[in-house]
Amino acid sequence: MGYISRGFRGKRASDREDARLPPGQYLVDGFPVLSAGPTPHTPLDEWTFAIEDETTQLRTWSWEQFRALPSEDIRVDIHCVTKWSKLDTTWVGVSIDTLLEGVEHHATHVLAISEGDYTTNLPLEDVLDGQAWVAFAYDGQPLEAEHGGPARLLVPHLYFWKSAKWVRGLRLMDHDEPGFWESYGYHIYGDPWREQRYAGD
């Protein structure tokens, strides 16, 4: 236990919600926005999504083709490294399993690549088996640009910066490589339940 803060009582979540909150997190009702720069607004007719390896583009979709892929309704809790968590968020997205179907590779990791050179790294096994999606709708509406629209990665079991906004592709890698925030002192993996916020946690 840390240093006792004289006179601090705090506002606890209910017991039921508390069990769903990773250490150091608090509940919010709103949906805070965090991003490093201006919000990009790519017209849908210029939008593409690519699966590539370190040398070659293996597969691409236009927006129309992407939206024709089978999609899933998703209901998950999300946890931001800046301490807020939001329970029971609802999304619609295309599973990464679907995007990688039939792609031959020897990858161990993926680097998600977004508009504006933002990247984030993930172990391949963390985006397979129904654990990650490219989401295009939130709360029954098309995903707003400030929340990463038209499409963002959704990897709810890791801190939310791993759910890269404005995602435009996945690079299959045979090694791990820090992405954008990971290069600025944030944790290389980012498990909220182990409170892996910063490098070395």
Partner 1 sequence: MARAAVRGRLNWTLGEVVELIDETPRVRTIFLEVPEWPGHRAGQHVDVRLTAEDGYQAQRSYSIASAPEDGRLAITVERLPDGEVSEYLVGELRRGDKLELRGPIGGYFVWEARSDGPLLLVAGGSGIVPLMCMLRHRRASDGTVGARLLYSSRSWDEVIYRDELERLAAGSNGPEVIHTLTRSQPPGWKGYARRVDGAMLAEAAWATASMPMTFVCGPTSFVESVAGGLVLLGYPSNTVKTERFGPTGG
Spatial separation of the C-alpha atoms in residues 132 and 84, rounded to whole Å: 20
CB 179, min distance to partner 1, A: 10
Nearer to partner 1, 116 or 123 (CB): 116
Nearer to partner 1, 65 or 184 (CB): 184
Alpha carbon 175 to its chain centroid, in Å, reads: 20
Q: Are 84 and 26 in contact (CB under 8 A)?
A: yes
CB 68, min distance to partner 1, A: 30
Spatial separation of the C-alpha atoms in residues 148 and 165, rounded to whole Å: 4
Nearer to partner 1, 153 or 187 (CB): 187
CB 104, min distance to partner 1, A: 30
CB 113, min distance to partner 1, A: 13
Nearer to partner 1, 68 or 199 (CB): 199
Cα-based distances in Å from 56 to 51, 63, 101, 105: 9, 21, 17, 11
Binding site for partner 1 (CB under 8 A): 1-12, 24, 26, 28-40, 82-84, 116-117, 146, 178, 180-181, 183-185, 198-201
Nearer to partner 1, 23 or 70 (CB): 23
CB 186, min distance to partner 1, A: 8
